[in-house]
Structure 1
Amino acid sequence: MSAKKKGSKPADPLLKQEDVLQAVVIADSFNVRFAPITKEIPRVLMPIVNNPLLDYTLEFLAASGVEEIFVFCCAHADKIKKHLSESKWNKRSSPCSVTTIMSEGCHSLGDAMREIDRKALIRSDFILVNGDVVSSVQLKDALNVHRERFKTDKSCVMTKVLRHAYPGHRGRCLEDEFFIATDNKHTILNYQKMKDTRKVKIPMTLFKDHSNVNLRYDLQDCHICVCSCRVMELFTDNFDYQTMSDFMRGVIYNEEIEGNKMQIYVVTNEYATRVSNLTMYETVSKDIIHRWTYPQVPEYLGTETYNFGRNHVYSAKDITLQRGCTLGEDVVIGSNTSIGSNTRISQSVLGRNCEIGENVVLKNAFVWDNVTIESNCLIDTAILCNGVKLMSGVKVQAGSILSFGVIVGPDVTLPSGTYLSTIPPPKEDEFDEEFNDTDTSKDLTRSVSQQDQLSLGEGGIGFVWKNAEENDDDEDEELAREMWGMKISDVHNEDEEESDDSDDDDSGPPSVVMDDTEIFYNQVLDSIQSSYSSGAINCDNLILEINSSKFANNVSMKELVQLVTKAIVELPNTHSPNILTTKEFAAFVIPLVKTLVPLLKNYLKGSESQLDFLGSLQECCITNGSLCTSIPKMLNILYDNDTLHEQVIVHWFKKIPLNDSAILQQLRKNVQPFITWLEEAEEETDSEED
């Protein structure tokens, strides 16, 4: 009998299976925030920048090394299954296996988790994610951290992935606002939703029991969790766990009884946001166009090939652009789409096979496939689903949704917040019964009687769905916050003001959302100040930093020149702790400009940019009178170094208003001798040539 060779024992197939990284994708939102669209397709199949939402989620998981994905479907499960069967995820070349789990009887996340546990599909640690998440996070590090924690503490059942985002950040969803307290091991000690409150109540026992407590309100929920198998058991054992919030409360506040813990993993430079409502749909679309989600950008997703041009314009093959049409910033155009003459498009996404007529204005519009828009139409902040047709002269105002196959016109104006569908709106009891919104958050949409309040025009086809007009007082503020495309001020009545007086000391200043130009200006000012403080300004490094900020914040060249100029002249006052006199300001800014000549020369290459620079100096004089005295010497320095051309300086000087403010009159007076010298020098040169 021959001896067995060492190591010839076959590997246990169960051990091999446990090495396979699994993920569970919940492809149902269990709410109706996108109704009436979701009456016909599931949210995860809604196109965002011309690709289904679900594909973004699957791409993100595949890029993170997930090998086996279970997509749990409830509403419209057959459509999700069909989409996956016809996509690349069903081909042999697919980087991972994707399996659909269909169950129409589930009405919440908890029901879905219990159904998955009943099928015994999960064998080891897994990723739990919603099917409407767009992310570039690499989960390898989060998974390793979770596993290391689990080795030392078996009670760690879940690691929740959060993203650092300051209050007011565009990626933070109002309904997901939360406050969290953790210990030095990142274990969650306290978790509170902040949607309906301005106060946080922290039990004193939290500080008595823990010597180190971190209180944070600068985090965003990515809706991505790294879970152990114990998570499935907890959902199965506790039928009152319906939502993720229920699960978190149960784990955190029953820790002493059940011994389970949740911890967090924070990402800073990666992208992860859930498309949870219409506002976030717009936000994530713009982030994809601006390439914050890289590598999940239009030219790398789906089967369509896009050309990426200036100002974030993406154009597919076989598009037709008639003479005179204008494409502004942030525009995506799908294949076989034609655009008529004198049409203006900005901050919009157009799908495939669309026909856009003449003299059409599209601003912040999301136009899906096979849409027809005839001449002289105006669309502002709206979604037009597949097959929609707008006859000539139709105006669609902000916050509107036109669902599949709707026809409007001709010469009709749709008021703000109009929702149209070819399916009649259900009665309120039918509406609640069918969709069964179990996550307790209020719907954006309510049905009204089928007697349409709005005329769709002679050729119009569709029913009117409207936003709720009769709500409890408690719902008014929330409804105003969640209205998409509406400019609604935050107004409180007298009773609310009185009740909030006691909160003023604790609430702190309100959050302010900075736009891209403000962020860019602050970054440039910080870069110049840091370089100056180091004792040796390196213009090459500054140019690299400014260019990086320019592309990151979508700043035009004109804005760059103006804001860099402003940052340079503001640096003396920003750097000094005291208010500078005119003489002190000049002693600071003139040597600074000499040092920054290579930087300015890099951006002031043409007459247009030089005029932008001089115009920005002129504007800065209005707010900083000390600058007027320094400008002549600054002009002389830049002229001697061939950074500013003589003709440009003279042209700018002649455009300074004669009878305007006293500060501009003083500016003209100060610069006049330098202009006279330039003109005399030119005359001498001409006479010598003669």
Structure 2
Amino acid sequence: MAGKKGKNSSKGSHGGPKADVVQDDRLQAIVLTDSFETRFMPLTSEKPRCLLPLANVPLIEYTLEFLAKAGVNEVYLVCSSHASKIDEYIEDSKWNLPWSPFKVTTLMSPEARSVGDAMRDLDNRGIITGDFILVSGDVVTNIEFDKVLEFHKRMHSKDKDHIVTMCLAKASQFHKTRTFEPAAFILDQSNNRCLYYQDIPSSSSKAKTEVEIDSDLLEDVDDFVIRNDLIDCRIDICSPLVPAVFQENFDYQMLRSDFIKGVLTSDLLSKHVYAYVTEEYANRVVSWKTYDTITQDFIGRWCYPLVLDSNVLSDQTYSYESGHIYKERDIMLAQSCKIGKNTAIGSKTKIGEGTTIENSVIGRNCQIGENIVIKNSYVWDNAVIGNNSIIDHCIVASNATLRDNVILNDGCIVGYNVFIDSNMEIPNGTKISGQPVKSMHAHEFGISDDEEETIEEQAKNSRRIITSLAVNLVGPKGIGYVYDSDISDNDEDSSDSGEGANALSYRLEEFYLSDDSISSKTFKSKKKRTMSTNSMYTDREENASELDEDEDFEVEGIETVKRAIENNHDLDTALLELNTLRMSMNVTYHEVRTATVIALLRRVYHFIATQTLAPKQAVTKVFGQWGLLFRRQAFEHEEFLDLMNIIIHQTLAIGFEKPDLVLFSSLSTLYDNDILEEDIIYEWWEQVSTDPAYNDINKLTAKWIEWLKQADEESSEEGDSEDGESETDEETDEE
């Protein structure tokens, strides 16, 4: 072995992007149909968010209409959860007809658990040929995209490091959707180049609002402005390098807090992001609050010329009346019923005598009985509402049935196929599903197939308890299960800032703040997580605990690495599983490194104990292949020191017959694979060589480090000698 002075010391996942991609003139669009969140549960347990109706139009239609007007040539729908349902919908839609303005392709990506995963999958497919639009499948906008594209091209021509143009919509101080997912953008006032991005606490949070920025990021900037009045509609124009950057930076999961912030603060990437600020309407349906607000905006014609009576679906027949009232053909209205302002009613719906409806959307083929009051609510297709019922600030999903004299109080969500018996009153904020709900993305939270089956079995065994409890809400003949998110119950409650306003906009946020992302504030207090992001309401605390057994990250992390080794997974797959598990439990990279080291050393022990390999060969085989995982687990100087401390500690803990040989072989193999550098090894050795606890394990390592130092000295002497010979040669030439 020879010393390796001058060896590249770049570590981690912040390598440069791949070579430039040859572009062509086609305008492509990537639509992320999955939000990778669970805010719309339990409804999204049966149907993806992008197919939920907003003003009786599936959400995906608004996005596709925008792309059609933008002149896109190819649209790729990246599908994760409910991928088959999205594919079936597109197959039967107008977008699959020969005269569709663009070609639509659905990309099945069932393993994707974040935007980063989706972008890495996109990069692996190699379908991006030039600048492309990256958009979510829940966007409602009337933006003139030509202006955005012109701005993007102008900035790109001036700045060779330009990589992304973000489209941001200016919001008034009191715009209701502004308060959701607030963020601060620091922009160069001269050209709108984004200098820094940071999430900020919501207005209802008691957390202090402050923005910290490295002064180096403001170098050569004359004037800058801090904007927190911008709605991030997640319409981006990206260069073909964007997927490659996600590929090279495996720890990037979120689009803004990881990718954009990482690009802006990285010295290695040196790429620039620009912001196009528009005053046109652009928003995303990311919560019940925004669902309600955007629906009312759309009914109020804020998104003109995209309006309900433009009939974006081929079979729609809406006409517009004063007071923002929309009616389809073939509806039956009793003479004494009252249809108030801001209301839409779908075809074949029947509304009985004495019924009042205002500020609401009623779907198709609904049966609305007599003397009913429906205000500020959303009733989807094929729903049945019995006589004398009251629905206030609620959602009633398709095929749900409410018998006579049912009262839905503020913020209730009634799921698909729920049946509520007569004379029942549902408390504020109750969410009822037609069947027990389990997590849509079990593997996202590190749950194995066996664990999923266990959860299902527990759910079946608990069904009697659930049904008996649900009877209190849906009645003796009713069908329905109370849905409860176990994360939300642990989240901090938001304040009642919306008192006096539409409670579907404000009060429901108290119940859905839980599902903010894969990582949750809840997990900061303890390094464990329950078996699923979603739990069923069983029998208060004692029975609920049966479904919420905590599991330690170390156990699951070790099993993840063990499974990767035994099944010979590729490194990227193993890293993805580990990183997803890390984020779901919100643990540090120290704990990831610990679990990985234990799993590798146990594999070495297995080879030695079964006499499959000798100790040195076993370590070389395991650490030579799987030690590369540490390139994505250690990034800073101190983290590599921590890695070596973990290795020496766990080597002793496992109890090898020859621990000194295992330690030496482990470190030398990581050194040979460019994981460890000499200067870090020397610094670590100064710390542990004098510790008597390691006397029996350090003998071979001490000789190896001494040899390394000698190799370095010899290398330096050879370099000095060569310099001296060169000088002598020059003198001889002069003579």
Q: Shorter-chain-normalised TM-score: which range?
A: 0.5 to 0.7
Separation (CA, whole Å) in 1 of partners of 2:170 and 2:178: 10
Q: Deviations over 1:557-577 (max 9, x none)?
A: xxxxxxxxxxxxxxxxxxxxx
- Judge conservation of contact 1:157–1:260 (CA < 8 Å) in 2: yes
1:165-204 alignment runs, 5 A limit: 165-195=171-201, 197=207, 198-204=209-215
367, 373, 376: which one aligns with 2:379 = 367
Q: What is the aligned partner in structure 2 of residue 456 from structure 1?
A: 474
Cα deviation, residue 203, structure 1: 4.1
* Alignment partners' CA distance in 2, 1:331 and 1:306: 12
Cα deviation for residue 462 of structure 1 reads: 1.1
Deviation at 1:150, TM superposition (A): 1.5
Describe the superposition over 1:584-605 as per-residue Cα deviations: whole angstroms up to 9, x where unpaired. xxxxxxxxxxxxxxxxxxxxxx
Quote how far apart the aligned CAs of 1:419 are: 0.5
Partner SS for 1:171 = helix
* SS across alignment from 1:61: helix
Tell me the distance in 2 between the aligned counterparts of 1:111 and 1:208. 33
Selected match of 1:381 from 386, 389, 393: 393
Deviation at 1:183, TM superposition (A): 4.4
Q: What corresponds to 1:354 in structure 2? A: 366
1:167 CA drift (Å): 3.1
Task: Give secondary structure in 2 for the equivalent of 1:89.
Answer: helix
- 1:71 corresponding residue in structure 2: 77
CA deviation profile, 1:446-470 (whole Å, cap 9, x unmatched): x998363633113210111136698
Instruction: For structure 2, list consecutive stretches of 5 or more residues without a partner in the other structure.
Output: 1-20, 448-458, 511-735
Q: CA-to-partner distance for each residue in 1:398-454, whole Å, 9 max, x for gaps? A: 11111110000200000011111112133xxx577256599xxxxxxxx99836363
Aligned to 1:52: 58
Secondary structure at 1:158's aligned position in 2? Answer: strand
TM-score by length of 2: 0.60
- 1:30 and 1:435 in contact (8 A); partners too: no
Distance change in 2, residues 1:437/1:271 (3 Å): farther
For residue 483 of structure 2, what is the amino acid of its counterpart? Answer: W
> How many angstroms does 1:202 deviate by?
4.0
Partner Cα distance (1:297, 1:458) in 2: 43
CA contact (8 A) 2:293 2:505 kept: no
Q: Cα deviations across residues 579-630 of structure 1 (Å, max 9, x unaligned)?
A: xxxxxxxxxxxxxxxxxxxxxxxxxxxxxxxxxxxxxxxxxxxxxxxxxxxx
| Pair 234,53 (structure 1): closer, same or farther in 2 beyond 3 Å | same
Matches within 5 A, 1:593-612: none
Distance in 2 (alpha carbons) for counterparts of 1:437 and 1:477:
29
CA distance, structure 2, for counterparts of residue 208 and residue 466 of structure 1: 49
Partner of 2:236: 225
Secondary structure of residue in 2 paired with 1:150: helix
TM-score w.r.t. the length of structure 1 is: 0.64
Partner of 2:539: none
**1:410/1:458 contact within 8 Å kept:** no
Q: Could you tell me how far 1:171 is from its partner in structure 2? A: 3.3
Match of residue 276, structure 2, among 265, 269, 273: 265
| Structure 1 counterpart SS, 2:361 | strand
SS at match of 1:154: coil
One-letter amino acid of the structure 2 residue matched with residue 265 of structure 1: Y
**Residue 645 of structure 1 corresponds to which residue in structure 2?**
none
CA drift at 1:195: 2.5
For residues 99-498 of structure 1, what are the structure 2 equivalents within 5 Å? Answer: 99-195=105-201, 197=207, 198-207=209-218, 209-244=220-255, 245-254=257-266, 256-268=267-279, 270-300=280-310, 301-302=312-313, 303-426=315-438, 433=442, 436=445, 450=466, 452=469, 454-466=472-484, 471-472=489-490, 475-477=492-494, 484-485=504-505
Tell me: higher relative CO, structure 1 or 2? Use CA pairs within 8 A at least 6 residues apart. Answer: 2
Point out the more displaced range, 454-463 or 89-98.
454-463
3-state secondary structure, aligned to 1:110: helix
Tell me if the contact between 1:107 and 1:436 (Cα under 8 Å) persists in the aligned partners: no
Aligned-partner Cα distance in 1 for 2:158–2:342 = 48
Q: Percent sequence identity over matched residues?
A: 38
- Note if contact 1:70-1:99 (Cα within 8 Å) is conserved in structure 2: yes
Q: 2 CA distance for matches of 1:55 and 1:371?
A: 22
Unaligned runs of 5+ in 1: 1-14, 439-446, 491-690
Residues in 1 aligned to 2:441 and 2:418: alpha-carbon distance in whole angstroms: 24
The letter for the 2-side match of 1:111 is D
> Which letter maps to 2:371?
N
Q: Which amino acid aligns with 1:356?
A: I
Farther-moved stretch of structure 1 (146-155 vs 329-338): 146-155
Q: Which amino acid aligns with 2:475?
A: G
Change (3 A) 1:131 1:488: closer
Contact 1:181 1:191 in 2 (8 A): no
1:152 Cα shift?
2.1
Q: 2:44 aligns with which of 23, 38, 42?
A: 38
Give the Cα separation in 2 of the matches to 1:108 and 1:483.
30
* Structure 2 CA distance for partners of 1:194 and 1:55, relative to 1, 3 Å: same
Q: Kindly tell me: are residues 486 and 291 of structure 1, through their superposed partners in 2, closer, same or farther at Cα, counting changes over 3 Å?
A: closer
Deviation at 1:226, TM superposition (A): 0.6
> Partner of 1:477: helix, strand, or coil?
coil
Task: Check conservation: 2:382, 2:398, Cα contact below 8 A.
Answer: yes
Judge conservation of contact 1:32–1:435 (CA < 8 Å) in 2. Answer: no
Tell which deviates more after alignment, 356-365 or 179-188. Answer: 179-188
For residues 363 and 437 of structure 1, the distance between their equivalents in structure 2, rounded to whole angstroms, comes to: 42
Alpha-carbon deviations, 1:112-170, whole Å to 9, x = none?
01111111111000000000111111211211221222122111000000011133312
Instruction: Call closer, same or farther: CA 1:138–1:437 in 2, change over 3 Å.
Output: farther
In 2: Cα distance, 1:321 partner to 1:483 partner? 28
In 2, the alpha carbon distance for the partners of 1:113 and 1:355 equals 44
Q: CA RMSD in A?
A: 2.7
Secondary structure of 1:134's aligned partner: strand
Partner letter of residue 476 of structure 1? D
Q: CA separation of 1:414/1:435 partners in 2, compared to 1, >3 Å: closer, same or farther?
A: farther
Structure 2 CA distance for partners of 1:62 and 1:389, relative to 1, 3 Å: same
Partner of 1:455, secondary structure, is helix
Q: CA deviation at 1:177?
A: 3.5
Residues in 1 aligned to 2:319 and 2:39: alpha-carbon distance in whole angstroms = 33
CA distance in 2, matches of 1:353, 1:156: 51
